[in-house]
Amino acid sequence: MTAENKKYSYKLHLNGLTDLIDFVKTASTCPYDVTLVSGSHRLNGKSFLGVFLAKVSWEDLYVEADRDCYFDLEQFIA
């Protein structure tokens, strides 16, 4: 895997509706793709509906991005 193809992945902890809203607002300000991942499932992390569905449907929730998103999304990373 080259540096251009590297993906950064972190486990998320979203607790309650306020966290979901704040996560989407924060992810939407990121100038790169933010994707929620669980196994083979993938959803847009900038979509409130996508984040909500992932939270209620998936057991483990990870955020993945082409750039290191740790400091942008730090408050939501478990």
- The pLDDT score that the predictor gives to residue 38 is 95
List, for residues 43-58, the tens digit of each pLDDT value.
999 999 999 999 999 9
pTM: 0.88
List, for residues 6-41, the tens digit of each pLDDT value.
889 999 999 999 999 999 999 999 999 999 999 999
Give the span between the Cα atoms of 58 and 56, in whole angstroms.
Answer: 6
CA angle 31, 7, 13 (to 5 degrees): 80
- The pLDDT score that the predictor gives to residue 27 is 96
> What residue segments make up the domains of the chain, in order of their start?
3-76
- The pLDDT score that the predictor gives to residue 36 is 96
3-76: CATH topology is Histidine-containing Protein; Chain: A; (3.30.1340)
- The pLDDT score that the predictor gives to residue 78 is 87
**4, 39, 49, 65, 66 from 17: Cα distances, Å:** 34, 23, 12, 23, 26
Give the span between the Cα atoms of 49 and 24, in whole angstroms.
Answer: 10
- The pLDDT score that the predictor gives to residue 4 is 63
